[in-house]
Chains A and B, each alone.
Chain A
Amino acid sequence: MKWLLNLRRLPARGVLGINRRNAGGICERNARSLFPVVDDKLLMAHMCARIGVRSPTILGVISRHAELKVLERIIRVRNDLVIKPARGSGGRGIMILVGRRGSDYQQANGRGIDSGRIRRHTADILAGMYSLGGRPDRAILQERVRPHPAFASIAPHGIADVRIVLYRFVPAMAMLRLPTLASNGRANLHQGGIGVGIDLAAGRSHHAVHRDRFINRHPDTGEGLLDLIVPCWDEILEIAQRAARAVGLGFVGIDLVIDDVNGPMLLEANARPGLTIQLANNRGLLERIEEIDRQLESAARM
């Protein structure tokens, strides 16, 4: 029960809690009217096109039940794609197809799937099974990102992504998210993904956390996770800043992936970014937020 003392100790270390994030002047910088843009991946993709930021190409959108027939025709021709809900969250409802397997299709997690189940999964997306608040949704067919070789050894079971949290459009913290066997190919931390803290200036990893504990090696492969260099780091930061300004949220998490061919691509923005990034960086966000406030104030005075 010693951890109860953390109620005093953690605020002293500048650790941000959910209550403070949601109410205490941080997400208050985020006007609710801006939420539809970040909550809808389709609107987000349009925004990316407008500001000239690359994002995975959208191959098609299924918005009505009648269009499910088209889906089957599309996947027969192009079976290397991602099906995701436009208004999903937390990586839910995302299906990744990598190719054909006999008359069936192969998923990224190695399992086979027939077209009937793909169609039903898409119907569930339309019915709002994975969308925020259970509202009817659209299904997006998206180009599958080709994993960058830099992450081949540390993310063998899926795609690694980079999460940048920005406060007042200044990068506050960064983390690399790695899927594990336990997280079933998804990089979301609460599902068992690994969070690797990245030094903002150098793009170098310095801490790693898995299930709220510090680790040095990948639990599945045993690969070292520290002192890795994230490729295209300056470009990633630049894209994140441009995207944060475009969505207009004062506190936002920007997720990017690094495609083998096209380089950094914007995946999505999050108006309520998770707080585990603090563990991955062994540092409190509140401390960083105050630092950025001071920097911006002194810059304004000059």
Chain B
Amino acid sequence: MPYSRTIVVIGAAVVLSAASVSIFLIRTPARACNPTWKVTRLQAGRESQTVFIDGPLSGDPGEFFSDQPAPGTASYLIEPLESPHANAGNSLFITTQLQPGNRAAVEFLLLLPAAALFVCLCRNLIGLQPFGTFGPALLGLALRESRPAWGIGIVVVVLAAGSMMRRALERFHLLQVPRTALLLTFVVLILLVCIFAADAGGIAGAGVVTLLPLVILTGMIERFWTMEEEDGSAAAFRTQLTTLGIAGIVALLASVPAVPRFLMRHPESLGLVMAALLVLGRYTGLRLIEAYRFRALAAVPTQKIHQ
């Protein structure tokens, strides 16, 4: 039974990958054969004239302009464009032509499954155990929006101050839900201070901290505290570090410009992500950490250990 199930899953993964790759192949040549170019003539360091050219580009770019400047005085800036013409015939999901606001949203949405896949790899292949299932993925993607060093710094400040607050609240015998809401408010307060400080320091765009998944941060503080009580500080700090590490790597990977660019050009790669998740879901081998944890079992079996 389990074998036939594995075959079905692998089959579905293959179908999904094949579908994504064929969409990829169908869309790509259309763009390559029928590009649109923006040709700008620069004279004396200034833009003097711009034309848009359909089709293959060859020869002297000066030929595209009606008047000819004196030889040697002009240079040309050629930029590829992705116009509606370029993708005529398969206009599905042309994410590059979205308005800026929608574009950012689509980019975030496309990155989320990829980040989730990364978290799955960390958990099921390596065996890392962060706080929360997709908390690290969300945190990582939020960090990507800010300058990574700033983002990590703010998160560390929030977590440290929040944990101290949690410890202080213990004294007041509060019920769980109001206590968590109080922590959330405290986290908001810290972020507000950060924004005002950044604003006073003349740093614009500090508003990105509001993208931080506040509820997830609050949950992390609460779970950190519980774990510290139950399993000791070492375990709690180890888990916290794992969480931040995974979030940091997600942020790093997602801020490599090529990654979101690829996903935006090829949203069909979600199919590949789904295929990878399906295969990962049937992975029944040992996790990397288990190879270490069970190392004592790898030795030649002994009947009994005597001192």
Contact = CB atoms under 8 A, between A and B. Distances in A.
Interface in A8-22: 9-11, 13, 15, 17-20
Interface stretch (B97-105, B109-117, B191-199, B296-304): B296-304
A275 B290 CA distance: 10
A206 B2 CA distance: 35
Quick one: which of A19, A28, A214 has the most chain B CB within 10 A? A19
B292 interface: yes
Nearest to A207: B305
Contact of A10 (B127, B231, B286): B286
Nearest to B293: A212
B55 to A, nearest CB: 53
A20 B285 contact: yes
Given A15-B286, A19-B284, A28-B2, A278 B294 contact: yes
12 contacts: A6-B294, A7-B285, A10-B294, A11-B286, A13-B298, A23-B281, A25-B1, A212-B296, A213-B296, A216-B306, A275-B290, A282-B296
Nearest to B2: A25
B305 A10 contact: no
Interface of B: 1-2, 124, 127, 173, 175-177, 226, 230-232, 281-288, 290-298, 301-302, 304-307
Contacts of A92: 230
Contact of A19 (B287, B297, B298): B287
Q: Which 4 A-B pairs have the closest CB atoms?
A: A127-B176, A24-B284, A6-B291, A17-B286
Nearest to A224: B307
B294 A279 contact: yes
A191 B236 CA distance: 12
A14 B291 CA distance: 13
A124 B288 CA distance: 36
Contacts of A24: 2, 284
Nearest to A24: B284
A264 interface: no
Contact of B177 (A127, A190, A275): A127
A19 B280 CA distance: 10
Contacts of A28: 2
Interface of A: 3-7, 9-11, 13, 15, 17-20, 23-25, 28, 92, 116, 120, 123-124, 127-129, 190-191, 206-207, 209, 212-214, 216-217, 226, 275, 278-279, 282-284
Contact of A116 (B173, B175, B301): B173
Given A6-B292, A127-B176, A128-B176, A15 B305 contact: no
Contacts of B230: 92, 191
A17 B282 contact: no
A133 to B, nearest CB: 12
Nearest to B174: A120
B116 to A, nearest CB: 18
Chain B CB within 10 A, most for which of A18, A278, A284: A18
B61 to A, nearest CB: 56
B231 A19 contact: no
B126 to A, nearest CB: 11
A17 B292 CA distance: 12
Given A4-B291, A6-B292, A226-B304, A124 B176 contact: yes
A216 B305 CA distance: 8
B24 to A, nearest CB: 30
A216 B307 contact: yes
Contact of A279 (B124, B173, B231, B296): B296
B108 to A, nearest CB: 27
B173 A10 contact: no
B296 A209 contact: yes
Given A5-B298, A17-B287, 17 more contacts: A3-B295, A3-B298, A6-B292, A6-B295, A6-B298, A10-B291, A10-B294, A10-B297, A11-B285, A19-B287, A20-B284, A23-B281, A23-B283, A123-B176, A191-B231, A279-B296, A279-B297
A65 to B, nearest CB: 8
